[in-house]
């Protein structure tokens, strides 16, 4: 589908087709869902806190000759909580999200293959209509000349009027086919414009002047038929879709996970008091 140095319709479809963009965004969505599912294995709640308190007393207060006039307290804490994946709930969720991610990739490939085939078919159809219109207009010119010759011969008595009427009928039939071919050409351009996400009027710069019908290659390397089936996106889609639709491989484990969740919490707190006699202490707890 070389197009005289211009951007090919297939490349434009890759960049601008709306359905293909939707499929690509679904891949990003599935990847984000997979990240969320993996994140459930880590603490679901994290909280960090800290503070500094500074206090000083006036020198004019009573009993301050030998006491601490200033007091500074540093406090920092970290608190995390999570649900332990003892029954495999989150692991099954990761497997489901992973299968859904690969399903979205296969769906994108399926849309890409269908889009490429539709764009190629529309492009070849446009070039075919252009070639047929070229031939039809050329035939009109030839048949117009033939009708004139038949009319001259009839006037000179060389032939009968039947030859003139037959020439007119052939000419009128050819002229009547031109509007049908032009309508077919407009429909093919409209179809290509929809695939490219462009208005039909914007295709002139992409298609350029009428060109020859593209020729298919003499041979296509398809490989082993079994490998061809494995590469087909519509064949690959059902398996990950089935895996993604099953959030848990064992319903018993899912019911146990929902009925008896295992949770944990860990808290660490450290404090430091700075006076003339410094003191530091820390505590932690987990359950």
DSSP letters, the chain, are: ---TTSPPHHHHHHHH-HHHHHHHHHHHHHHHHHHHHHHTTS-SEEEEEEEEEEEE--TTSTT-SSS--EEEEEEEEEEEEEEE-SSSHHHHHHHHHHHHHHHHHHHHHHHHHHHHHHHHHHHHHHHHHHHHHHHHHHHHHHHHHHHHHHHHHHHTTSS-HHHHHHHHHHHHHHHHHHHHHHHHHHHHHHHHHHHHTS-GGGGHHHH-S--PPPPPPS------HHHHHHH-HHHHSHHHHHHHH-S-S-HHHHHHHHHS-EEEEEEEEEEEEESSS-EEEEEEEE-
| Sequence-ordered list of residues with C-beta below 8 angstroms from that of 135, at least 6 positions apart, any chain | none
Query: What pLDDT is attached to residue 136?
Result: 92
How do residues 47-84 score in pLDDT, each as one tens digit? 777 787 777 776 666 666 666 667 777 778 777 777 77
Domain ranges of the chain: 10-45+87-246
Query: What pLDDT is attached to residue 281?
Result: 52
Regions of the chain short of the pLDDT cut 70: 1-7, 44, 58-69, 200, 222, 234, 236-287
Query: What pLDDT is attached to residue 135?
Result: 92
Taking domain 10-45+87-246, whether its CATH number is 2.30.30.790 is answered by no
Query: What pLDDT is attached to residue 59?
Result: 67
């Amino acid at each position: 589908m070389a197009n005289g140095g211009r951007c090919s319709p297939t490349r434009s479809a890759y960049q601008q087709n709306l359905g293909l963009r939707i499929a690509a965004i679904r891949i990003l969505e599935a990847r984000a869902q997979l990240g969320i599912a993996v994140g459930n294995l880590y603490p679901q709640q994290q909280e960090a806190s800290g503070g500094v308190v500074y206090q000083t007393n006036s020198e004019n207060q009573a009993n301050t000759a030998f006491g601490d006039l200033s007091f500074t307290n540093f406090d920092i804490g970290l608190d995390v909580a999570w649900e332990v994946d003892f029954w495999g709930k989150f692991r099954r969720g990761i497997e489901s999200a992973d299968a859904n991610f690969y399903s979205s990739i296969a769906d994108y490939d399926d849309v890409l293959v269908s889009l490429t085939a539709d764009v190629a078919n529309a492009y070849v159809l446009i070039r075919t209509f252009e070639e047929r219109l070229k031939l039809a207009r050329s035939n009109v010119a030839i048949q117009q000349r033939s009708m004139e010759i038949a009319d001259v011969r009839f006037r000179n008595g060389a032939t009968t009027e039947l030859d003139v009427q037959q020439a007119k009928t052939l000419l009128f039939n050819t002229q009547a086919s031109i509007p049908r071919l032009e309508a077919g050409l407009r429909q093919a351009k409209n179809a290509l414009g929809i695939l490219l996400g462009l208005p039909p009027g914007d295709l002139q710069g992409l298609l350029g002047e009428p060109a020859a019908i593209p020729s298919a290659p003499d041979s296509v390397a398809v490989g082993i038929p079994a490998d061809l089936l494995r590469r087909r996106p519509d064949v690959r889609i059902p398996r990950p879709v089935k895996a993604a639709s099953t959030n848990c491989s064992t319903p018993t484990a899912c019911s146990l996970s929902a009925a008896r969740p295992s949770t944990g919490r860990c808290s660490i707190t450290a404090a430091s008091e700075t006076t003339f006699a410094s003191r530091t202490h820390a505590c932690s707890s987990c359950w």
